[in-house]
Structure 1
Amino acid sequence: MALIKAALLGFGTVGQGVYEALKTHREQLKAVLGEEVVIEGILVKDGSKQRDVDEHVLVTTDFEEILQIEGLQIVFEAIVGEEPGFTYLSKALEKGCHVITANKVMFARHGRTLLDKAEKLERFVGFEATTAGGTPIIRSIAQLLQVNEIHSVEAILNGTSNYILTNMREKGLPFQDVLKRAQELGYAEADPASDIEGHDAFFKLMILSELSFGETPEWKDVERKGITDVTSEQIAVFKDWGFKVKHLARIRRDRDQFISSVKPVLVDAAHPLYGVEDVQNAIMVETSLAGKVTVQGAGAGKLPTASAMVEDLTYVLQSNSTFARKKKIAPFAAGSLAEEADRTLVGEYAVIGSSVGFHGTDGVDILKQEVKDDLVYLLIKCQASTAELLEENPDLVVYEVAGKVKEAWVQSEKKDLLLQKVINL
């Protein structure tokens, strides 16, 4: 039987998972591909360590030795950080290899470059594992893009943050206690900043933006806030009101700009991501024909991530093609209704303060009110955005209620006429 020769760049948790998956599922892969996939080389940082791999496998610290493997077809990359992963994959493509990566930071910055290069060289770049581990969102979006236009993406993209918020709510524990437990269970790193401050979810959102819209917003324009300021007291009040705090990554295209954020928001039982708990990830894509499509699954871990990379392998070997990529969407034509109209944001927000008063906002309606531990909790509806509320009222804590923020288009000549389009964020 013919062999498909592959190499692994990096042999940490993910790299070991790929190696293990290829060995334990060898017969399944043979049945699907008609050929056997064999790891011929592994690139490591420390060549002195003993590794539990087959005797024939080349273990090296020199990437050039990997490239010299005769008949090499596939390169799996599981290195942390932008470099040297980007350089290695560029060289592997030039060598004629298909490449499959789990490196979200590198791919968020350089994914378009790699995809363009692969297209010219008629090679494949697999990146399913960069966004949500074993949750197959990349191929799902690629399939939707055959016909549908994607209007928005809304997702829980970090299992660590979701685990922490779930357990703070269900067990009434403070943030630090749940974070410590997450570290003990291996859900959080010793330095958890990337997860709890929203960096990990941000990079994943940028990858989904590139795939869905053909480009990303200016990174500095994306609102990013972590979960470290979320308290168990806040969660308890919101729970009584029927809300859960979720750390959501969201993006949608608005004419020639993006509206995007990674931050804690409130969701109610009607929201598609309300029931996504613990370390699970989920992505909801709103499309022109299929409506709202939600995909849920394991967000991280050795085997879920390895699963995504191995599925990419079978995809390339069966179809020998690159993923479909979304072309840039043109803005509305000049003179369109959208350009002639004024926009007013009408939304629901939970606000917290020692004494709540509002400045710079119109028509504040109080929907709920509660006083707890000398703090006033209000659920309000008003014509303002989160940023505007905080700018005018910097002493308040503000949570947006997801799905309750709407844009009303008001015709400039008739300010009192509400026009057709209402868009859920």
Structure 2
Amino acid sequence: MTVIKVAILGFGTVGEGVYRTIQSHAEELTASLGKKVEVAAVLIKNKQKERNISEDVLITTEFADVLSLPQLDIVVEAIVDKEPTFSFLKKAIERGCHIITANKEMFAHHGKELLDLAEKNNVSVGFEATVAGGIPVIQTLRQLLNINRVQKVQGILNGTSNFILTEMREKKQSFAQALQLAQENGFAEADPTNDVEGFDAFYKTMILSRIAFGEEPNWRDVERKGITAITSELIETAETLGLRFKHIACISRLGNQIKATVKPALVGTEHPFYHVEGVQNAINVHSDIVGAITLQGPGAGMFPTASAIIEDLVYVCQNPPAKRSVSSAGDTATILKKGQIKEIWLVHGLSNIQTSSSITKIEHVAEETFIIMAAKKDVEQLAKLEAALVYYPILGEYAPVHQPTTITAL
């Protein structure tokens, strides 16, 4: 039987998970591919550290040793940072290897170049693990794009932020207390900036945009806000209204323009993200034929991420390289008409607010806290006048506590 030879770059949580999954699911891989999958090499940093790796596997600190193997079919990258990973994967492609990566920051910056290079060298690129861990969102979008036109994608893409918001609500903790617990549980790094300020979700959003729409927005035009300004008092107020804070990425198309945001928002009980708690991730895809579908699952961890990589391994072996990287979703300008500019907001930091032609006061819900309907530009203008003002969109329907009317954001 012919053999597929795999090299794993990095043997941390993800790399070890991939290695162990290849061993434990050898029969399933053989049945799917008609070939045996073997790990030929593992690239590590520290040779002194003990690892449970078979003796017939090359263990090395030099990438050149990996490239020198007599047979090498797939390179799985499970390291961090943009370099040297980008350089490693370029060399692997030039050698004629399929590549699979879990590195969202590197792929957000260099994914197009890697995909173009792979097409020239007639090899495939797998990157399911760069977004939402074990949730097969990229494979789902690839399938939807056969006929469906994707109109909008929303996602909870960072488990750390979601965990913190859940702990703050359920256990009445401060942001600092919930963050400390996330760090103690290994969900947050010692420096949590990438997670809590939205950078991690931003990189994943750019990757999703390229899959859903064939292009990315200008990075400088993307509104990115973290969760650090959300207080336990705001979370408690939202809960009395039947709302929950979530950190949500959103990508949509307006004519030829791609619009993306990564920021906190409020959702009610009818929203598919309302019950997405803890370190879970979720993706909601709106398309013109199937409508809205939601995928939910673990966004990180050894085996959820390994699952995405192993499915990619099967994908790159079974699918021809040509014309399967990204597709345009077509013109969906009708989904976002110019007149649809009003949104529902929770604003905090005002002693009072008056209804005007541009701002409608819906409800006074707590001290200095109001529900209003207004265009974003008008809320931003209000914030310029009131330095202490914070504001968060309410997605979907909102039913005022003191009024029977249900209001839907446009």
TM over 0.5, yes or no? yes
Question: Please, what TM-score do these two structures have when normalized by structure 2?
Answer: 0.91
* Deviations 1:126-146, CA, capped at 9 Å, x for gaps: 000000100000000000000
* Cα deviation 1:109-140 (Å, max 9, x = unaligned): 11111111212222110000000100000000
Corresponding residue of 2:185: 185
What amino acid does structure 2 have at the position aligned with 1:401? I
Q: Deviations over 1:372-403 (max 9, x none)?
A: xxx41111112444534434544311111123
Distance 1:61 1:352, change over 3 A: same
Shift of 1:319: 3.0
- Which range moved further: 291-300 or 125-134? 291-300
Distance 1:358 1:195, change over 3 A: farther
The amino acid across from 2:8 in the alignment is L
Task: Mark the CA change 1:331 to 1:180 in structure 2 (over 3 Å): closer, same or farther.
Answer: closer
Which residue type is aligned with residue 221 of structure 1?
Answer: D
Residue aligning to 1:122? 122
Residue identity opposite 2:346 in structure 1? A
Q: Tell me, yes or no, if the aligned pair for 1:122 and 1:321 is still in contact at 8 Å.
A: yes
Q: Does 1:356 align with 2:352?
A: yes
* Closer, same or farther: CA 328–244 of 1 in aligned 2, 3 Å: closer
How far 1:324 sits from its partner (Å)? 4.3
Q: Distance in 1 between matches of 2:166 and 2:35?
A: 44
Cα distance 1:342–1:280, how it changes in 2: closer, same or farther (>3 A)? closer
The equivalent residue for 2:402 is none
1:324 and 1:424, CA in 2 relative to 1: closer, same or farther beyond 3 A? Answer: farther
Matched, 1:368 2:363: yes
User: SS at 1:390's partner residue?
Assistant: helix
Structure 1 counterpart of 2:326, which letter?
R
Distance, in Å, in 2 between the alignment partners of 1:68 and 1:207 is 31
- The amino acid that maps onto 1:355 is S
Length-normalised TM-score, structure 1: 0.88
CA distance in 2, matches of 1:45, 1:358: 61
Equivalent-residue separation in structure 1 for 2:365 and 2:332 (angstroms): 44
CA distance in 2, matches of 1:123, 1:338: 36
Q: Residues 89 and 338 of structure 1: is their aligned pair in 2 closer, same or farther, counting only changes over 3 Å?
A: closer
Residue in 1 that maps onto 2:327: 326
Distance 1:424 1:92 in 2: 48
Deviation at 1:183, TM superposition (A): 1.3
Distance 1:128 1:38, change over 3 A: same
Most deviating of 259-268 and 323-332:
323-332
How far apart are residue 235 of structure 1 and its match? 0.5
Question: Tell me, what secondary structure is at the counterpart of 1:51?
Answer: coil
* Match of residue 398 from structure 1: 391
Letter in 2 for 1:395: A
Percent identity over the alignment is 46
Return the offset for 1:251. Answer: 1.2
1:4 aligned counterpart, secondary structure = strand
- Shifted more, 312-321 versus 345-354: the winner is 312-321
| Aligned-residue RMSD, C-alpha | 2.3
Question: What does 1:201-212 align with in structure 2 at a 5 Å threshold?
Answer: 201-212=201-212
Residue 286 (structure 1) aligns with: 286
Q: What is the deviation of 1:204?
A: 0.3
Alpha-carbon contact 1:362-1:382 (below 8 Å) kept = no
Per-residue deviation, residues 181-203 of structure 1 (Å, max 9, x unmatched): 11111111122111111110000
The aligned residue for residue 236 of structure 1 is 236
Is the 8 Å Cα contact of residues 74 and 97 (structure 2) preserved in structure 1?
yes
Return closer, same or farther for 1:207/1:338 CA change in 2, 3 Å cut-off. Answer: closer
Q: SS at the partner of 2:230? A: coil
User: What is aligned with 1:381?
Assistant: 373
Q: Who is 1:408 aligned against? A: none
1:338 and 1:173, CA in 2 relative to 1: closer, same or farther beyond 3 A? closer
1:34 CA drift (Å): 2.5
Structure 2 Cα separation of the partners of residues 255 and 342 of structure 1: 10
CA contact (8 A) 2:353 2:361 kept: no
Whether the aligned pair in 1 keeps the contact of 2:350 and 2:386 (CA below 8 Å) is no
- Per the alignment, residue 90 of structure 2 pairs with 90
Amino acid at match of 2:370: L
1:346 matched to 2:338: no
* Mapped contact 1:350–1:398 kept (Cα < 8 A): yes
Q: Secondary structure at the match of 1:362?
A: coil
Instruction: Flag the 1:392–1:101 CA change in 2: closer, same or farther, 3 A.
Output: same
1:370 Cα deviation after fit: 3.0
Amino acid of the structure 2 residue aligned with 1:83:
E
Residue 74 to residue 424, structure 1, CA distance change in 2 (3 Å): farther
Q: Decide whether the 8 Å contact of 2:254 with 2:335 is kept in 1.
A: no
1:351 and 1:326 mapped to 2: Cα distance?
A: 39
Residue pair 2:137, 2:295 contacting (<8 A) in 1 also: yes
| Structure 1 residue aligned with 2:170 | 170
Q: Flag the 1:278–1:390 CA change in 2: closer, same or farther, 3 A.
A: same
Distance 1:246 1:21 in 2: 32
How far is 1:338 from its partner?
11
Report SS of the residue matched to 1:295. Answer: strand
Structure 1: tracts of 5 or more residues without a match = 406-422
- Equivalent residue for 2:200? 200
